[in-house]
């Protein structure tokens, strides 16, 4: 954390990724679009529902809004993907 001035107010430094880049937060509509650009369509409303009932990607609150990090969306999507398959009978590669 970074303190500014002599006041007791403490301001958190922006979160950084391992590569040292500043993390960008996505709102629900942007998160749904982010997943869609990777071929994984998820409606904004589905992300809303999953935030309520569970089973969705990790998110944070910023005021009244939910915000997501791309890395958390990628992790969640990867966990939902099945193993590669050769047929609909369920035989995995």
State the Cα–Cα distance between residues 15 and 18, nearest whole angstrom: 10
**What is the three-class DSSP state of 61?**
strand
Residue ranges of domains in the chain: 25-80
User: Tens digit of pLDDT for each residue in 51-75?
Assistant: 999 999 999 999 999 999 999 999 9
**Cβ 52 vs Cβ 15: under 8 Å:** no
This model's pTM is above 0.95: no
Rounded to 10°, the helix 28-36/70-80 angle is 50
Q: What are 32-53's pLDDT values in tens digits?
A: 999 999 999 999 999 999 999 9
Per-residue confidence (pLDDT) for residue 1, from 0 to 100: 45
- Look at residues 19, 44, 46, 35 and name the one whose alpha carbon lies nearest to residue 76: 35
């Amino acid at each position: 954390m970074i303190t500014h001035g002599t006041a007791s107010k403490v301001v958190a430094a922006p979160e950084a990724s391992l590569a040292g880049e500043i993390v960008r937060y996505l709102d629900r509509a942007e998160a749904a679009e982010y997943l869609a650009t990777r071929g994984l369509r998820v409606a904004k409303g589905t992300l809303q529902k999953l935030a309520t009932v569970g089973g969705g990607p990790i998110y944070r609150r910023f005021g009244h809004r939910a915000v997501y990090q791309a890395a958390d969306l990628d992790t969640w999507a990867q966990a939902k993907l099945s193993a590669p398959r050769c047929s609909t009978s369920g035989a995995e590669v």
